[in-house]
Structure formats: structure tokens, C-alpha cells
Amino acid sequence: MYSDNHRARKRFGQNFLHDPLIIQRIVDVIKPQKTDHIIEIGPGKGALTKPILNCVARLEAIEIDQDLIVALSENQRHDNRLLIHQADVLKFRFDSLQHNDLRIVGNLPYNISTPVLFHLLTYRDCIKDMMLMLQKEVAERISASSGSKQYGRLSIMLQYYFDVDLMFVIKPEAFTPSPKVDSALVRLTPLHHPRYELLDHDSLKVIVKAAFSQRRKTIRNALKKHIATVTIERIGINAESRAENLNIADFVKLANCYHQLQTNMLSN
């Protein structure tokens, strides 16, 4: 399944998984079933593609590198179960696949992993789960709790919609070329019923982004263009707190408050 002559391209952030023990461990976590609708992001040289194909009736992959697509297609020319979409994952419409139970797997390029995560977030309604290899630092940010240095915008936006499990750490030697940092496999499972009632997704994006734009600022200062201090205090949040000390429920309260303020302004 490998295309050994292909050189990793920096512009695509390519690091190819090759360790058979890690590959098998990832497949064991995914537990692919014959009826699954699995979408692989960045199949690369096909390290995960072949073992997943052995378990499913059909596998779709998204790959931007034409040379890798040619190699993968050649290796699987007698197997019509693999469908490769040549596309930039950041522009790919996952709802075009017309399934509401997609299982997303892949080794996300470090240079675009955060934008890809936010892009996938917009398609959460058609995703069953995601198993993603990420830079360990990004994985820790996704799974971080309030009060930690890693806790931030990514933590809140993903944890509001998903259960997040950091499965295991993957050392650089498992990849070619070896990255300079550790990676981690993360499982994200959409919550059927979010833990807190949010009135408007865009309001949460606005509030979280503003709150963490300058981490050293208090919420009072960070959100002064959005919500008055007296209003922040009225909904039970200490305006002198910093963003990293507020939990997800606090941010939902702030977002709902902001949404109501905006709605009232438009109706007057």
C-alpha cells in the first residue's frame, strides 16, 4: 500500500505513519465495522487505509496531493471500495456525502490542525465520531480543563459539542519524516444533548474569541465591547476573573446574555 518513492512535502505538512504496532493500535481503537461510513482525511501512503479497507464495505478518503492519489489508486486498482476525493479538507463539504453518521479518521497536518478542527465542527450534525492524530500540544488543548494553561478557545468550542478523550501518545519515530514533537490520538464523540442550553452558536464563538484574545485581561476588560460589567455580575460571574478560570457553563451564560443583548438592540 505504500508509495515509498514519495517525498514528504512541507507545504502539505506531511508526516507519514509507518509503525505497524501503532497502526494496529489505532485500528483497534477505531473498531471499523462493515457498514461504517468512514472518511479518512489525508490517507498519505495508505498506512491506515489498507487495514480499514479490510473491515469495511466502502472507504472514502480526502487527499490534496495528486501524486499520492495516483499511487493509492494504482495500489487499489482492483478494489472499488476505495473512493478518493482530491480536495483541500478545509474546503470540503462533509454534508455533500449525504450521511449523518460519518466516522472521521486521519492524521491531521500540524500546520492546519486547528482550522481543520473548527471546519469539522461546522459539520458536527452529520458526524458519528472522529479519531484524529494531532500534535500532542493541540490534543492537550482540546481536552484541557478550566484553570490550566492549555485551556482556551479550542477547549471550550469542542468540549461544548463533543466528548473528548485523549487515547494515547504517539512518539515521533512512528512517522517519516519524524516530527520534532509528540503526537496523540484523540477521540471526539458528538453530544446528542449538550450539557448546557446555548441560544446561538455564533454568539459563543464571539464571546470565547474575545475572552481569550488577551489572556491576562479580566473578563470585564476583555468583554467590555460586548457586555457591561454590571450585566456580567448580574448573571453570576465574577467580572474580575480571567477567561482561563471560567468553565464552559460560564461561557454559555455569557454567550446567551450577549445574544439577548444583540437581539434586543435589533428589535428596538
> 85 in a domain, yes or no?
yes
| 41, part of any domain | yes
* C-alpha closest to that of 13 among 134, 166, 94: 134
- The residue among 115 and 265 whose pLDDT is bigger is 115
| Residue ranges with strand state E in the chain | 16-17, 37-41, 59-63, 82-86, 102-107, 127-135, 162-170, 175-176, 183-190
Alpha-carbon gap, residue 24 to 41, rounded angstroms:
18
Nearest of 88, 77, 3, 74 to residue 45 by alpha carbon:
3
Mention every residue, 6+ apart, whose C-beta is less than 8 A from residue 231.
257, 261
- pLDDT above 70 for 201: yes
Asked, for residue 136, whether it belongs to a domain, the answer is yes
The DSSP call for residue 195 is S
Residue type, 48: L
Largest alpha-carbon pair distance within the chain?
67
What's at 52, amino acid-wise? I
Judge if 160 and 62 occupy the same domain.
yes
Q: Is the pLDDT of residue 5 over 80?
A: no
In a domain, 5, yes or no: no
pLDDT tier at 190 (50, 70, 90 boundaries)?
Answer: very high
- 228 and 137 share one domain: no
Shared-domain flag, residues 207 and 93: no
Q: Are residues 60 and 164 in the same domain?
A: yes
Q: How confident is the model at residue 109 (pLDDT cuts 50, 70, 90)?
A: confident
Q: Which three cell numbers stand for residue 224?
A: 467590555
The reply to whether 245 and 207 lie within a common domain is yes
Cα radius of gyration (the chain): 21
Return the pLDDT at 16: 86
Domain coverage including residue 132 = 10-190
Are residues 173 and 211 part of one domain? no
Rounded-to-integer distance, Cα 264 and Cα 96, Å = 36
Same domain flag for 62 and 141:
yes
pLDDT digits 0-9 by tens, 252-261: 999 999 999 9
Q: Is 1's pLDDT higher than 60?
A: no
- The residue from 158, 190, 222 where one domain ends is 190
Query: Does any domain span residue 196?
Result: no
Is residue 1 in a domain? no
What pTM did the predictor assign? 0.90
**Is residue 204 scored above 90 in pLDDT?**
yes
Burial class for 104, CB neighbours closer than 10 Å (0-12, 13-18, 19+): buried
Do 19 and 69 have their domain in common? yes
Q: What is the mean pLDDT of the chain?
A: 92
More confident residue, 67 or 237: 237
| Count of domains for the chain | 2
**Shared domain check, 25 and 156:** yes
- Taking each continuous run of H as one helix and of E as one strand, the counts in the chain are 10, 9
pLDDT (0 to 100) of residue 33:
97
Highest mean pLDDT range out of 7-11, 106-110, 115-119? 115-119
**Helix/strand/coil for 96:** helix
% the chain with pLDDT above 70: 93
State yes or no: pLDDT of 92 exceeds 70: yes
* 135 lies in the same domain as 258: no
Q: How confident is the model at residue 79 (pLDDT cuts 50, 70, 90)?
A: confident
CATH number of residue 183's parent domain: 3.40.50.150
pLDDT tens for each residue of 160-184 = 999 999 999 999 999 988 989 999 9
How far is 87 from 59, CA to CA, in rounded Å?
16
C-alpha cell at position 90 = 478545509
Question: Could you tell me if 111 and 214 lie in one domain?
Answer: no
What percent of the chain clears pLDDT 90, i.e. is strictly above it?
Answer: 80
Residue 246 sits in the same domain as residue 183: no
In this prediction, residue 10 has a pLDDT band, given cuts at 50, 70 and 90, of very low
218 DSSP 8-state letter: B
Q: Residue 77 pLDDT more than 80?
A: no
Task: Confirm whether 223 is domain-assigned.
Answer: yes
